[in-house]
Amino acid sequence: MLTAYSQDELIEEAKKAGVLAYLVKPINKQNLIPACKIAVSRYKEFEVLRDELTDLQEAIDARKLIEKAKGLLQKRYSIDEESAFKRIRQISMNQRKSMKEVASAIIITLE
Quick one: pLDDT at residue 18? 84
Quick one: pLDDT at residue 1? 85
For residue 21, pLDDT over 90 is answered with no
The count of residues in the chain is: 111
Residue range 82-105: mean pLDDT, rounded: 98
Quick one: pLDDT at residue 58? 97
Per-residue pLDDT tens over the stretch 23-79: 888 888 888 888 888 889 989 999 999 999 999 999 999 999 999 999 999 999 999
Per-residue pLDDT tens over the stretch 5-17: 889 999 889 889 9
Quick one: pLDDT at residue 63? 98
Residue 63 vs residues 34, 73, 75, 85, 90: alpha-carbon distances, Å = 43, 15, 18, 11, 16
What CATH architecture is 2-110?
A: Orthogonal Bundle (1.10)
Chain mean pLDDT for the chain: 94
Picking from 21, 28, 23, the residue whose alpha carbon sits closest to that of residue 6 is 23
Quick one: pLDDT at residue 77? 97
* 0.75 surpassed by pTM: no
Exposed / middle / buried, residue 80 (Cβ in 10 Å: 0-12, 13-18, 19+): exposed
